[in-house]
Amino acid sequence: MRDHIHPITDVMPDSIASEMGLEPGDALVALNGEPIKDIFDYHYHIEADYVEMEILTRDGQSCLLEIEKEEDEDLGIVFGSSLMDEYHSCSNRCIFCFIDQLPPGMRETLYFKDDDSRLSFLQGNYITLTNMSLEDIHRLIRYRLSPINISVHTSNPDLRCRMLHNRFAGDILDKIRLFYEAGITMNSQIVLCKGINDGPELDRTIEDLSGFLPFMESLSVVPVGLTRYRDHLARLEPFEQEDAVRVLTQIRGWQDRFRESTGTAFVHASDEWFILAGEDFPQEDYYEGYGQLENGVGMMRLLIDEVRACLSGHLFEESVVGEEKTDQVTRRVSIATGQLAYPTIRMLADELESRFSWVRVQVYPIRNDFFGERITVTGLLTGQDIISQLKGEDLGEALLLPENLLRAGEDVLLDDITIGQIADSLQVPVNIIQSEGRFFVARILGSAHIPGVFSKELFEEDFDGSEDIARRTGNYEPKSQ
């Protein structure tokens, strides 16, 4: 049992743990007489209204605490690791793995290959299931944890073993079937590689996974990302426009069949396919609630609709907007974005300029010299590319950057350059645009205009000034000008 002792690093004020006298330095040994392997075991056992907790105090004393509480009430204990365990690294060597395509010299954590089933539930990560034993699967089923997000790539056992470079990877459908028979909801994804798992192999995978409906709720198809650091890696070719048109046609054929037979499209193409094919994004109902948003399925359509909802007048105080009309340009800002999103961002900026004649927006598509020009998504831009390509440009009174450039909860980009360093290098204030369309509008118009232009309830939570300004509103001023 003492193989799984979990040191307590903090105790929340006014919590059950605080009332029981627990302190940092104490350690959790067991709950309800059972050892706790990780965060899943912990949450399973504390859901009850009665919990027995074995504690090893920081001075080495063992004690048993009996706790009566409300069901699902948290104990208020903080552990050193969010998983209460080591992260499980990936045992695969996928031919398309992005981490294998990273340049040397980046921060060490970027090279860690995660394939941890627990992060599928906690953070929405997609996992291959190759690290999961039958015992692990049955534990998740016992705890009724869902949804689980699965990186399938192909349902062909031999091809999957080759693509993942793992001879144990071919049993994916058997593992999915266990979740299906237990009624565990799932989502899945395919990273499509040209000439490998596309064409007839894509048809096979879509058909096989559809057999697990309704518990397999959705499937996304995304194109492989190829950096310029692919020496000694499998030879992969980029998709061209005609390829994208063919993939979209193939997916639409399946969607028509599924809608007729099941009432859901089931399989969805990521935004990159529509941009590469030169097609407009589908309307909102195509995305069926945006269940695959984190895979880039519907991000652009959602942003377009959110921005236009703001501009429609429903979220504006029209009487005040009328007072703002002028032919004189009083605000000029710049936006840096990836080449993939550039046409959409430019279109939305044009719509704002048309609505508000006093604002001008310069949109800069940043070429990804760091990873290579084939990488066009905004989230993989680096600080050094932004600085080098915008140096000497007249950026107006602020440079706007989307928040998906940043490490979660921090102001650091992939290459460890901070937003403050960008502001200093370019000698311009840098403002972060949060992901919702209302923030896109707000950053362009400027927070100074918000109290008079936007309805109070729309922004009072985000611009109340009660917390750190740089973190809440994303305003980074250069140290000298």
Domain boundaries, the chain: 6-79, 99-292, 302-476
Q: For residue 375, count CB atoms less than 10 angstroms from its CB and return exposed for 0-12, middle for 13-18, buried for 19 or more.
A: buried
Give the DSSP H or E segment for 173. helix 172-181
Q: What is the pLDDT of residues 145-180, one digit of tens each?
A: 778 889 999 999 999 999 999 999 999 999 999 999
Tokens of 417: 């350059």
Residues 96, 191: contact at Cβ < 8 Å?
Answer: yes
The pTM for the full model equals 0.79
Q: Which of 452, 186, 474 is nearest to 324 (CA)?
A: 452
Q: What is the pLDDT of residues 277-308, one digit of tens each?
A: 999 999 999 999 998 888 889 999 999 999 99
Decide if 6-79 and 302-476 have a common fold.
no
Give strand ranges (E) for 76-175.
Answer: 77-79, 148-151
Q: Which CATH number fits domain 6-79: 3.30.930.10, 3.40.50.1580, 2.30.42.10, 3.40.50.720?
A: 2.30.42.10
- Three-state DSSP at 438 gives helix
What architecture (CATH level 2) is domain 302-476? 3-Layer(aba) Sandwich (3.40)
List per-residue pLDDT tens for the chain, 481 residues long: 456 788 888 999 989 989 888 999 888 988 888 888 877 778 878 888 898 889 899 888 889 998 888 887 888 888 877 766 666 566 778 888 877 777 877 776 654 555 544 444 444 478 888 888 888 888 888 878 778 889 999 999 999 999 999 999 999 999 999 999 999 999 999 999 999 999 999 999 999 999 999 999 999 999 999 989 888 888 999 999 999 999 999 999 999 999 999 999 999 999 999 999 999 999 999 999 998 888 889 999 999 999 998 888 644 544 344 445 556 888 999 999 999 999 999 999 999 999 888 899 999 999 999 999 989 999 899 999 999 999 999 999 999 999 988 876 678 898 889 999 999 999 999 999 888 888 898 889 885 444 444 444 444 444 443 333 344 446 788 876 5
Give the DSSP H or E segment for 179. helix 172-181
Longest dimension (CA), the chain: 76
- Where helices occur in 317-390 by DSSP H, the ranges are 318-324, 342-355, 383-390
What architecture (CATH level 2) is domain 99-292? Alpha-Beta Horseshoe (3.80)
Residues 249, 236: contact at Cβ < 8 Å?
Answer: no
Tokens of 228: 């310029």
